[in-house]
Structure 1
Amino acid sequence: MRPLADLRVIAVEQYGAGPFGSLHLADLGAEIIKIEDPSSGGDVGRYVPPYTDGEDSLFFETFNRGKRSLSLDLSTAAGREVFEDLVAESDAVYSNLRGDVPARMGLTYADLKHVNPRIVCCSLTGFGMTGPRAKQPGYDYILQGLAGWMSLTGEPDGPPAKSGLSMVDYSGGFVAAMALLAGVHAARRDDQGMDCDLSLFDTAVGLLTYPATWHLSAGFAPERTRHSAHPSLVPFQVFAAADGWLVVGCAKEKFWRRLAEVLELPDDPRFATFALRRQHREELLEILERAFATRTVAGWLAVLEPAGVPCGPVNDVAAALADPHTQARNMIVRTEHPAFGTVTQVASPVRVGDEPPAYRRAPRRNEDFGYVTDDLLGYGPEQVARLRAAGAFGA
């Protein structure tokens, strides 16, 4: 059995953060039944340009492989009836909505415990279900600014900058998946479910880590650094070579000694320790920048890697995907899609055991209607017809 083959999750999810979290559960074998609102055409991620085809997009494929889809109108009594029947057969209800919406839609443990006392209700919202911002919509870029990330990103004399990827969304998805698994573990042990109140805001603030500790405990004022330099370790940053950029980092004294040997630098008491290199940062970096400019990136990697100096090229996306290590680690996934043909994407980094995951394309909207109504819930034709007439599955 795959690691999570005995886990069923009802996902009222959309766009990026929520689907990214449940994607990893699906890759590990969990059954993710994705509830899509028929009145809005389902998950908005289906329509994200530029690569779209009707109700499918490569964006949607990225975040929803291996899942099932059911069109269900939760605003109707009939739709709610089907939803609660699903809850009775599931381990968790997972959502990513605005903070006040789960309670309004009846997706909390208090709303569902009468159906299934062991249900885990995991809500990933922008700002959480409590606090003064609970009713505000939360998006990755906004959270990167609000949580201080953008103030730390970019060159010191440039504007604040976001990460090139939606790291608050993706980290929030990982946090929600971890909380869901912990909740299900506890529910199976204690025969009682619970709420898991996760937020992108908490995730972003939590990832401030040691700069936050330094600030709160010692008054440290984080600031942007030139060439993406580490705030305390010198050298640890990007350097310009003759034909591009590379990252060199000396996170241990032994790495500095190896770098100095490769560069044939004379012993200099100014650079003898972590603290002294930080104190004389400007003088040291001037020496290093002048040295690194004399060879190509490949030329430097050819001497730094054998010497055991932590380093790497600043790749573009194409080069990162073509790296031999990407292939060796089985990080490329291929699925077949009726409109897009072979869809090639990246695998989940979550690995459990030796058996490789089995991948399946993302579902077409409502593709799993028959599986849910007939196989899972055991509805007969008359019951399906009654629910359909009552608007459970949309117009």
Structure 2
Amino acid sequence: MFNQLEADFPTHRPRTEGAELALQGIRIVDFTHFIAGPFATMILADMGAEVIKVESPGKGDDFRQYPPMVPEFGGGVPYAWTNRNKRSIALDLKSSEGLALARELVAKADIVVENFSTGVIERLGLGYETFRESNPGLIFCSVSAYGRKGAFADRLGFDPIAQAESGFISMNGYPDREGVRALSPVMDISTAMMTSNAILGALVARARTGKGQAVEVALFDTAVLMTGYAPLQELYTGKGPVRPGNTSPDTCPSGVFKSMDQSFLINCGNTQIFQRLMTQVLDLPQVASDPAYATNKDRVAKRQTLFSLLQDEFSRQPWEYWQARMRAANVPCGELRTVGEAIRSPEAHEQQIVTRIPHPELGWVPNIALPIRYAQTPLADPAPAPRVGEHTLDVLGEWLGYNRERLETLAEAGAFGAAAVQGALK
């Protein structure tokens, strides 16, 4: 399937043999689905934690159904993106046997992460209060849409809803039309990052106090944070942000221009950069010294005139010419790339962002790395996302010490639900 891409991406470079991992020895039971929760636990798995993903027998995480589907993945490509370096166990939580197994796993865990609808985890008898005394070191993290308590705890939420209700959509797009959502699930990803950060903080606190704690992260809260400094600007001025398209309302010149052959964006975040742009890149010292453009406020007020001047100059040469000059002058700039161009770019190749990793059926699959570089405790070597229940028997044997006879009894009682697991016992 991916063989035609072998020339584009290098193979993953394994970490030094025997190198310890940052979260080595930490056990996580993962009851999450879709993006925010699974991406958070994947970050921790990449750091070396042992993450056991608990899934419904048969269908597993609903996110497995997002296309394109790859039969060898047991689901779609998006699922593989959020579930690297985990092991999957299939438990029927509607059966008493499956639920009992889940409780046994939680009793031995360092961390539990869940993003069920509010109240579900408690009704299952798997909530934090159930294990608070018997497992005092447990860190129990709940990821929700609007928090676990209060008037809106019952509301479901997905990334686009959070973008809409946080004001994020209102900030993006062009002023002559309605705001535009980001196609990338930016709120899910940022919530995952906040979740992993929160859990890491709780681990540090536990190392000091010996006690775990309940942790909450809400998608809506994170989405408001992702509107940046706009809320404070609104509070101080009484005015909300105006959709600026690809320009910046706060700095000038900052926006998209077109060379002879390529669109690109520049960002002059201060007057010093503007001066370098004019004198070292465009050879326009008279503009650099013009009092009409002396301050950022002046330039913002005359943005249309300044942009017209810049566009006229940039259209005279190809992007390669301007890129070299702006890099030499230390002017922030970047070409407008497609996703495909970005992952094949020299910068991505230099950072080994996309690599190829072994897959037992496909030979190899592409992998997108986390942007974390540890000097002493490298990230775990990436392993493909598991199929539903792929590691059920191994996990129950390792964590709970169950032998073959006990596993057969559980399978017959319907704890695992899937016939595939029962077949593996024969």
Q: TM-score, normalised by structure 2?
A: 0.87
Alignment of 1:66-77 (within 5 A): 66-77=85-96
Q: What amino acid sits opposite 1:264 in the alignment?
A: D
Alignment of 1:137-148 (within 5 A): 137-148=156-167
Match of 2:252 among 234, 243, 251: 234
CA contact (8 A) 1:100 1:134 kept: no
Deviations 1:177-212 (A, max 9, x none): 111111222234323222111111011001223111
Alignment of 1:154-303 (within 5 A): 154-226=173-245, 228-261=246-279, 262-265=281-284, 266=286, 267-303=289-325
Aligned residue pairs: how many? 393
Match of 2:39 among 2, 11, 20: 20
Partner of 1:323: 345
- Higher relative contact order (CA closer than 8 Å, sequence separation 6+): 2
Q: Provide the rounded CA distance (Å) in 2 between the counterparts of 1:364 and 1:338.
A: 12
Q: Provide the rounded CA distance (Å) in 2 between the counterparts of 1:360 and 1:351.
A: 18
DSSP-derived class of the 1:198 partner: strand
CA contact (8 A) 1:333 1:359 kept: no
Query: 1:368: how far off?
Result: 1.0
Deviations 1:47-67 (A, max 9, x none): 221233173322222111110
Q: Provide the rounded CA distance (Å) in 2 between the counterparts of 1:394 and 1:336.
A: 30
Q: What amino acid sits opposite 1:318 in the alignment?
A: G
Q: Provide the rounded CA distance (Å) in 2 between the counterparts of 1:376 and 1:108.
A: 20
Q: Provide the rounded CA distance (Å) in 1 between the counterparts of 2:330 and 2:208.
A: 47
Q: Provide the rounded CA distance (Å) in 2 between the counterparts of 1:159 and 1:243.
A: 30
CA contact (8 A) 2:47 2:379 kept: no
DSSP-derived class of the 1:305 partner: helix
Query: 1:391: how far off?
Result: 2.7
Query: 1:173: how far off?
Result: 0.6
Query: 1:277: how far off?
Result: 1.3
CA contact (8 A) 1:94 1:122 kept: yes
1:385 aligns with 2:403: no
Q: What amino acid sits opposite 1:321 in the alignment?
A: I
Structure 1 pair 100/276, CA: closer, same or farther in 2 (3 Å)?
A: farther
1:334 aligns with 2:334: no
208-217 or 46-55, larger mean C-alpha shift: 46-55
Q: Provide the rounded CA distance (Å) in 2 between the counterparts of 1:242 and 1:100.
A: 59
Deviations 1:18-67 (A, max 9, x none): 111111111111111000011x5111222221233173322222111110
DSSP-derived class of the 2:323 partner: helix
Structure 1 pair 107/289, CA: closer, same or farther in 2 (3 Å)?
A: farther
Partner of 1:81: 100
DSSP-derived class of the 2:328 partner: coil
Alignment of 1:58-137 (within 5 A): 58-137=77-156
Q: Provide the rounded CA distance (Å) in 2 between the counterparts of 1:333 and 1:25.
A: 20
Q: Provide the rounded CA distance (Å) in 2 between the counterparts of 1:351 and 1:97.
A: 32
CA contact (8 A) 1:150 1:160 kept: yes
**Which stretches in structure 1 are left out of the alignment for 5+ residues?**
none
Q: TM-score, normalised by structure 1?
A: 0.94
Q: Provide the rounded CA distance (Å) in 2 between the counterparts of 1:21 and 1:230.
A: 31
Q: Provide the rounded CA distance (Å) in 2 between the counterparts of 1:42 and 1:342.
A: 23
Query: 1:74: how far off?
Result: 2.0
Query: 1:285: how far off?
Result: 1.9
Q: Provide the rounded CA distance (Å) in 2 between the counterparts of 1:104 and 1:239.
A: 57
DSSP-derived class of the 2:241 partner: coil
Identity of aligned residues (%): 33
Q: Cα RMSD between the aligned structures?
A: 1.9
Partner of 2:399: 376
Q: What amino acid sits opposite 1:155 in the alignment?
A: Y
**Which stretches in structure 2 are left out of the alignment for 5+ residues?**
1-19, 419-426
Q: Provide the rounded CA distance (Å) in 2 between the counterparts of 1:138 and 1:77.
A: 30
Partner of 1:394: 417
Partner of 2:385: 362
Q: Provide the rounded CA distance (Å) in 2 between the counterparts of 1:238 and 1:99.
A: 44
Q: Provide the rounded CA distance (Å) in 2 between the counterparts of 1:189 and 1:386.
A: 42
Query: 1:102: how far off?
Result: 3.3
Match of 2:326 among 299, 304, 309: 304
Q: Provide the rounded CA distance (Å) in 2 between the counterparts of 1:340 and 1:146.
A: 42
